[in-house]
Structure 1
């Protein structure tokens, strides 16, 4: 089993052995699904049979991510968290109540980038955290270093590392969890204990702050905790609500950062795409205001660009593995209960039989033209499958759209020049459950003096 950039190895296996590849490690069977057909047939259309999660001793039981949606087993707690999240943000109508927050925080993002363009990644992270914290807890981030944004960043980094296949031997040999942290070679145990503390703090600190507010302050802005306080008290399900809020908070922040950072990388590498998108914005929105969600219906190329961001460098190249809850059969294979299934989303979204020139960033692939149908929408794959599909997919779509639209309307994103030489970034991703582009340099400037004035104006929307 590979321990880094596993999706590339799994893709090679797929070309050698076929769309369904089985490998056994220390008695645990893994099945790699390298085609959209196999992933949809099993994980989507037979979702009830494949709704489990693998038993990750480190990330799940020891650190505590099994108390959130991402690694919770398919049980009453999972169903309770999903129910609360579905009621809160399970459709575009529910997300619409947060459009104003999205637009306001994205406008603040433009100002941060204008003032500090060299810290792009940190500015993206600050904005994503601000939106999620406002929605989850009604919390307003502070300028500069914010303790809540820092807390979720540290907790999520622990999840990314500990949930990667092969990260810890304790996932294969569970008895190792009882090794004392002082024992020689048990440095991994001290890491796990630190991440456990941070994950618990992530679930509890912002929830308790919100819960302690008076009724007037609590309901001042729509947020997940405030909307569910009465329900939680009536049904005595605070543990479920804490897990759901932590899932929204942790699941949305880092994934959105990865997608938007990928967008800036793509605009740096594909200036012709940027120019075409800006031309559409100029024609539809004009120079006197920033784009809003109301403009989305009239911006087909921007919408296609957002789809290409999701396809070109998928946020979670392998998704989160599923575990089968009963024996099954498919395409002549016997698939035993408790098999771990990994959908190779990177392979699916880069399959040359599905996507023409798959390594290139081409938003037009999703637009209808005379004699040519659009290529498949990557949303069918990149947000997961079946009963484990990402509950925040509509929020992710909204965040990506408004950031892309506002940024392209006001900013020019170009290659950096150092000592007279262009620094062409490489489109490479970091390894991990959530995959970010590797750090890169680019130059970001206002498109014009009018665009700069819009960024600095309080009445640009």
Structure 2
């Protein structure tokens, strides 16, 4: 099978001949004289692209890490990769040498993302990126001071009500919950939550190995437009997304002019800054509107699946591990009694936090890590790393290093709660969390670290605590056979940022009284929330 795949690769794409000549010239220039990282055998021209799976690629990288060590080299077509599964090595390259390794590689099927202004996390480090990142960091920090103005708890009451009324749609409601929180913070329009989630999913598809074939077979991208469905799809997708962002931005601007836009939105923060600069009427050229709408729009979008994926995996983990569900529920009942948990209970619910933290370790939302790219030549351990090399700190491997995560393939929240485990930290009123401490590499490295730790910490905690306060979760039982419906815990959409593939669980309110309280909370917020 491997031989047939190689033959097809060699015959199917004539443009690879250029890469072959280039590679031969490089071999002749420096044949065998330099130190190299270990790694799998490389085939001429194609490297190892023929046996890199488009789905669950992280499993292959983990397999190679077990064979070749914590840093190894591989190649796909003419693109070199260095894959890391050791925190100290990742810190040395991506943090201490962040001035070299903070570029972003070209994602072939995502048009112009390196230049901007649409996707700040995927841009190169230039003035547009610096301006947007600085603004987003300040906006997120200010919202965190107020714990996101109570919007997480309000949307949680809505979510619990929907779950009580129609539990079979829990996966749809979970993504919509995350989308509504972000859209409320961005523009004061939570009704955009579902569209926000769909837009995020489509964007992730286009930037993932599991997405368009052109992300792996890059020569196909250069086909003429009449024969290039990938290019035509992306042109339309990006046009639709930008128009959606710009329309929401302009609607918010109109409300700002009328004095109707709440001051707890990111749009308000932006317009207020414009006014402080002397632009009282908020009149801007379209180019500036596009810049700002993309800045706010992407901040809004990236907070959806980065959170909804872990929330869906959490529901799965609780259904499959009833012993930890019961421990967390006992803790919640002791602290909160008959009221829904809120952020005020954060310090007193370490078991809930540990279950959520372990979910993200056990089923990472970004198992490959987000790729960095060398911005110039460098040398590490005597080996030359050429400009343009992609550096991947593989989260799936990092989260399974035996010395730090014993029994790493299994769900073990006690690793965060019991002294003797390598990841245990005190006091438990502070740890574990998603803002500091162990395993913060989940949010990336160095100058490209994700800015969303605070909202992840707040939103995942409230979601986990409130859901377990209200409901019991269990594997779904087939009503005809009485047999449990199996759940494949590794089945995902295989995007850069994961959500699990659709699965079924049983969701039952914990008591009649809790059901009444859920409905009361639902009716309390529905008068305020836009549906």
- The CA deviation at 1:411 is 0.6
Residues of 2 paired with 1:257 and 1:291: CA distance?
19
Residues of 1 paired with 2:116 and 2:201: CA distance?
12
- The CA deviation at 1:152 is 2.7
Which residue is 1:330 aligned to?
380
Contact persistence 2:117–2:128 (CA under 8 A): no
Match status 1:391 vs 2:435? no
- The CA deviation at 1:193 is 2.3
Contact persistence 1:54–1:322 (CA under 8 A): yes
Moved more, 27-36 or 110-119: 27-36
Contact persistence 1:60–1:66 (CA under 8 A): no
Which residue is 1:158 aligned to?
202
Cα-to-partner distance string for 1:43-66 (whole Å, 9 max, x where unaligned):
122222211100223214289976
**How many residues end up aligned between the 2 structures?**
450
Contact persistence 1:63–1:195 (CA under 8 A): no
Residues of 1 paired with 2:411 and 2:153: CA distance?
26
Of the three residues 459, 462, 469, the one matched with 1:409 is 469
Which residue is 1:26 aligned to?
77
Contact persistence 2:177–2:193 (CA under 8 A): no
Match status 1:455 vs 2:497? no
Which residue is 2:129 aligned to?
78
Match status 1:269 vs 2:329? no
**Residue 279 to residue 73, structure 1, CA distance change in 2 (3 Å):** same
Match status 1:131 vs 2:181? yes
- The normalised TM-score by structure 2 is 0.79
SS at match of 1:409: helix
- The CA deviation at 1:227 is 0.7
Match status 1:374 vs 2:420? no
- The CA deviation at 1:285 is 1.1
Unaligned runs of 5+ in 1: 142-147
Contact persistence 2:116–2:129 (CA under 8 A): no
Cα-to-partner distance string for 1:274-327 (whole Å, 9 max, x where unaligned):
00000111111112x111101101111111112112111111111221111122
Which residue is 2:17 aligned to?
none
Contact persistence 1:55–1:171 (CA under 8 A): no
Contact persistence 2:443–2:453 (CA under 8 A): yes
Tell me the C-alpha RMSD between the 2 structures.
2.5
Moved more, 46-55 or 207-216: 207-216
Cα-to-partner distance string for 1:136-188 (whole Å, 9 max, x where unaligned):
111132xxxxxx334333432232222123755655787765533322xx222
Greater relative contact order (Cα 8 A, min sep 6): structure 1 or 2? 1
Residues of 2 paired with 1:172 and 1:256: CA distance?
27
Which residue is 1:145 aligned to?
none
**Residue 216 to residue 276, structure 1, CA distance change in 2 (3 Å):** farther
Residues of 2 paired with 1:66 and 1:118: CA distance?
39
**Residue 195 to residue 69, structure 1, CA distance change in 2 (3 Å):** same
Match status 1:445 vs 2:445? no
Unaligned runs of 5+ in 2: 1-48, 426-436, 526-531
Residues of 1 paired with 2:117 and 2:235: CA distance?
15
Cα-to-partner distance string for 1:56-100 (whole Å, 9 max, x where unaligned):
232142899762212111111111111111111137x73534141
Of the three residues 307, 313, 331, the one matched with 1:256 is 307
Q: How does 1:222-261 map to 2 (within 5 A)?
A: 222-232=264-274, 234=277, 238-261=289-312
Contact persistence 1:95–1:394 (CA under 8 A): no
- The normalised TM-score by structure 1 is 0.90
Residues of 1 paired with 2:149 and 2:101: CA distance?
34
SS at match of 1:291: coil
SS at match of 1:453: helix
Which residue is 2:56 aligned to?
5
Moved more, 322-331 or 372-381: 372-381
Contact persistence 2:332–2:349 (CA under 8 A): yes
- The CA deviation at 1:24 is 2.5
Match status 1:182 vs 2:226? yes
SS at match of 2:401: coil
Of the three residues 332, 351, 360, the one matched with 1:310 is 360
Give the structure with higher Rg (CA): 2
- The CA deviation at 1:436 is 1.3
Which residue is 1:319 aligned to?
369
SS at match of 2:75: strand
